[in-house]
Amino acid sequence: MRNHPLSALDPLGQYESEWEGSFTHAEKRAILHSVVRVKQRAWAWIKQTDDNIRKPSALRSSSAYGRGIKNLEHVERILEDMVRETEDPGWNLEVDRGDLGEKCAKSWNSPVPGYDDTLTLGNRWFHQSADEQDSTMLHELTNRQGAEDKNVPSRYNNAWDLEPLMHLDTENWSPFKRDKRMADKLRSRTDSRAGSYGGWSRLLRVSCARHSS
């Protein structure tokens, strides 16, 4: 069925969402509003990260920081694809609910054209705080763009590690902090001018405000 235009996610009621489970109107609003907040946060993170990593050309040309920049650009692509999908009028999503035990949600991407993708929310999701719901929603929507849950070689492609970006500045995000420490050490050994650039702290000063629901 067509969405009621509850929010900025679907202002014209264009993209199709099918409610497979039993949801109250308030629960549907909670789901749609969570997706809106995730999308807005993703756009803010993309813009601020993109603006900052492209400013200091001296740092960008340094091999010490090349890996970290590529990792951040990989996260940008995941979030950009996620936002594009949620804004696509042709995106069909089945929203279901069920008893998932300790899990709050799971998603399934249809490999067959014409079959809708499915997002299943466990009963626990509806008892989470709005912040927790949004982190879970970000996790599931990045899964849909290739972020994985198990045996992931890169933390920048791990949906569990991407969850905190819903509420953390990039400088406080543990995968970035690890890369920053390693890059600063490498640069201090190979470039006597490292102090004049200020390392990663100057490279990326992202001030994404913590989302308040």
- What CATH number should be reported for the domain holding residue 198? 3.40.390
DSSP assignment of 109-176 equals --SSTTSPEEEEEEGGGGGS-HHHHHHHHHHHHHHTTT-BSSS-S-GGGBHHHHGGGGTS-GGG-HHH
More reliable by pLDDT, 209 or 181 = 181
Q: Is the pTM of this model over 0.85?
A: no
Tens-place pLDDT, residues 25-77: 999 999 989 999 999 999 999 987 887 676 655 455 566 678 888 899 999 99
Distance CA 161, CA 155 (A): 6
**Does a structural domain hold residue 8?**
no
Distance CA 82, CA 169 (A): 19
In this prediction, residue 64 carries a pLDDT of 66
Going by pLDDT thresholds of 50, 70 and 90, the confidence category of residue 180 is confident
Mark 101-136 as b/e (b = at least 16 C-beta within 10 Å): eeebbbbeeeeeeeebebbbbbebbbebeeebbbbb
Query: Nearest 5 degrees, angle CA 197-CA 202-CA 203?
Result: 95
Structural domain for 163, as ranges: 16-203
**Does a structural domain hold residue 3?**
no
**Does a structural domain hold residue 212?**
no
Tell me the HSE value of 97 on the side-chain side, using a 13 A CA sphere: 12
In this prediction, residue 198 carries a pLDDT of 52
Distance CA 169, CA 201 (A): 12
Domain count for the chain:
1
Strand partners, 122: 98
Going by pLDDT thresholds of 50, 70 and 90, the confidence category of residue 86 is confident
More reliable by pLDDT, 137 or 210 = 137
Q: Which of 132, 128, 77, 138 is nearest to 107 (CA)?
A: 138
Q: Which of 115, 136, 114 is nearest to 127 (CA)?
A: 136
> Which SS3 state, helix, strand or coil, does residue 186 take?
helix
Query: Nearest 5 degrees, angle CA 203-CA 140-CA 19?
Result: 140
Q: Put the strands of the sheet holding 105-108 in their side by side order.
A: 16-19, 92-98, 117-122, 105-108
**Does a structural domain hold residue 10?**
no
**Does a structural domain hold residue 11?**
no
Tens-place pLDDT, residues 108-151: 766 666 666 788 999 999 999 999 999 999 999 999 888 998 88
Tens-place pLDDT, residues 6-32: 333 443 344 456 787 788 999 999 998
**Does a structural domain hold residue 7?**
no
**Does a structural domain hold residue 155?**
yes
In this prediction, residue 43 carries a pLDDT of 92
In this prediction, residue 61 carries a pLDDT of 53
**Does a structural domain hold residue 67?**
yes
